[in-house]
């Protein structure tokens, strides 16, 4: 029962932090420090990735009409949504740099950079980045107002920023959103494009982790995966809706300040208290 309660809490943390630009890695590091799952390290590595599948399903559920490229014509027949297909093509272009970086560098990153100081430094650096970019944006109007207006060069540029997210503590959504804002994309369009990019990215990463794990799960491990994913799904539904409503009227400064404070807390705890 204690392990199930830990799993529920971890699912809640994943559901909140995966979509907010605050780094799920940094938060899960802190949570696992105090509420460690009674499981092997290999399984926990898989768990922290696989529960993202629940978060992915939340995006698919909320944006199904915008994600599915087919529909029905009023008088019968299949309707092909050309704008949706075009957007998916741009998402594929945006995902290429991150996929190459993950294939080439993921093992080295996991071995050498998953440390508290790297995570804290990334949290603080991108927190400052949000503050700087938002203040810069006050003096200019976004040139891309809607997600459908994102061009292929802009999509590739966002994808190049996503490469930075392989550094623990950066936040995949945070890197993509900062990149989109710098490239002149509006906040709602940046968030929507980032959410859509997450579907193939997180699905691919989760499947790779499952393949690397390479063995059947025990009954208790399977229950932990299912419960964590379910909680991540439910919480993600609420968080995504709330974030989209929030950024229509507000900027990302609050997340910048939050990241800086969290980075300082991590440094303080792991190097002065622990």
Residue 191 has pLDDT above 80, yes or no: yes
Determine the Cα angle at 5 with ends 41 and 11, to 5°.
Answer: 70
- The mean of the pLDDT values for the chain is 87
The closest of 218, 178, 180 to 39, measured between CA atoms, is: 218
Domain boundary assignment for the chain: 2-273
Return the higher-pLDDT residue of 21 and 30. 21
**Cβ–Cβ < 8 Å for 51, 39:** no
State yes or no: pLDDT of 120 exceeds 80. yes
CA 24, chain centre distance (Å): 8
pLDDT recorded at residue 12: 93
Q: How many CB atoms lie within 10 A of CB 218?
A: 11
Q: Is the pLDDT reported for residue 188 higher than 70? A: yes
Identify the helix (H) or strand (E) that includes residue 70.
Answer: strand 70-72
65-103 tens-digit pLDDT = 888 888 877 777 788 888 999 999 999 999 999 888 888
Angle formed by the axes of helices 52-62 and 41-50, nearest 10°:
10
Category of 79 on φ-ψ map: left (φ > 0), alpha (ψ -120 to 50) or beta: beta
Asked if 239 contacts 15 with a C-beta cutoff of 8 angstroms, the reply is yes
Give strand pairing partners of 78. 72
pTM score: 0.88
| pLDDT of 274 higher than 70 | no
Query: Residue 140: is its pLDDT beyond 90?
Result: no
Q: What is the pLDDT of residue 215?
A: 66
């Amino acid at each position: 029962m204690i392990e199930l309660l830990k799993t529920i809490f971890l699912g809640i943390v994943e559901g909140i932090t995966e979509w907010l630009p605050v780094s799920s890695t940094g938060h899960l590091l802190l949570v696992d420090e105090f509420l460690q799952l009674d499981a092997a390290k290999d399984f926990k590595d898989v768990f922290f990735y696989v529960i993202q599948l629940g978060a992915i399903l939340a995006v698919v559920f909320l944006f199904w009409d915008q994600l599915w490229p087919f529909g029905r014509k009023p008088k019968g027949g299949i309707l092909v949504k050309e704008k949706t297909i075009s957007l998916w093509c741009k998402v594929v272009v945006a995902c290429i740099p991150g996929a190459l970086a993950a294939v080439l560098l993921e093992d080295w990153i996991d071995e050498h950079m998953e440390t508290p100081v790297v995570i804290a430094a990334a949290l603080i650096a991108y927190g400052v980045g949000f503050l700087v970019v938002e203040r810069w944006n006050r003096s200019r109007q976004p040139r891309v107002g809607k997600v459908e207006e994102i061009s292929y060069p802009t999509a590739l540029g966002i994808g190049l920023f996503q490469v930075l997210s392989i550094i623990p503590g950066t936040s995949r959504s945070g890197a993509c959103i900062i990149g989109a804002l710098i490239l002149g994309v509006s906040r709602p369009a940046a968030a929507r494009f980032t959410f859509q990019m997450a579907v193939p990215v997180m699905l691919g990463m989760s499947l790779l982790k499952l393949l690397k794990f390479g063995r059947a799960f025990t009954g208790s491990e399977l229950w932990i995966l299912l419960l964590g994913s379910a909680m991540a799904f439910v919480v993600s539904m609420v968080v995504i809706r709330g974030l989209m409503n929030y950024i229509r009227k507000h900027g990302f400064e609050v997340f910048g300040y939050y990241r800086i404070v969290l980075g300082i807390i991590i440094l303080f705890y792991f190097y002065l208290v622990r």
